[in-house]
Amino acid sequence: SVPLLQAARKRNSLNLIELSEAELEEQFVRGDGPGGQATNKTNNCVVLKHIPSGIVVKCHQTRSAEKNRKIAREILQEKVDLFYKGEDSDVFKEKKASEKQKQEKKRRAKENLERKKLFKEMQQLDKE
């Protein structure tokens, strides 16, 4: 099973719970990681908290505070949707479907590898 909050960040979900600005607490902090002076001197990392559920999202994907605000809200909306709907959430269903596709692709690759091995063995037997 997929940990629920790790399934967030899938963009094609349409049936998400709407968030109101009154439920959100927003802060701008200094980001961390690579970037040198650009990171160390600017407060463009967004920390967004959904007060009713207590879910916190920290976003520092771009240098723009506005873009980070938008991305943080998208991530938070998906996490809140997962929190309240659980396995009924579109985000969760999408993640499950993508995992299933990935497993199927691995299975097919493994089968092809086995076929190639058998083919090579047959060629070796024919040469002898």
pLDDT in tens, the chain (128 residues): 445 555 555 455 467 777 888 889 999 998 877 777 777 788 889 999 999 999 999 999 888 889 999 999 989 988 888 888 888 888 888 888 889 999 999 999 999 999 999 999 988 888 87
Domain region containing 96: 89-127
Residues 95 and 123 in one domain: yes
Longest C-alpha distance within the chain, in Å?
79
Residues 119 and 93 in one domain: yes
* pLDDT for position 108: 96
Within a domain: 10: no
* pLDDT for position 2: 46
* pLDDT for position 83: 87
* pLDDT for position 1: 44
Distance (Å, whole) CA 111 – CA 9? 32
Residues 28 and 78 in one domain: yes
Distance (Å, whole) CA 37 – CA 24? 30
* pLDDT for position 71: 93
- Which ranges of 1-128 does DSSP label H, i.e. alpha helix? 37-40, 65-85, 90-127
Residues 63 and 100 in one domain: no
Q: What sign does the CA torsion over 103, 106, 112, 117 have?
A: negative
CB under 8 A, 24+ apart: contacts of 71-75? 72/46, 72/47, 72/48, 73/19, 73/24, 73/48, 74/11, 75/8, 75/9
**Domain total in the chain:** 2
Within a domain: 11: no
Residues 93 and 119 in one domain: yes
CATH no. for residue 67?
Answer: 3.30.160.20
Residues 75 and 98 in one domain: no
Query: How many Cα atoms occupy the beta-carbon half-sphere of 73 within 13 Å?
Result: 14
Distance (Å, whole) CA 6 – CA 13? 15
* pLDDT for position 14: 61
By three-state DSSP, how is residue 75 classified? helix
* pLDDT for position 47: 94
| Whole-prediction pTM | 0.64
* pLDDT for position 55: 93
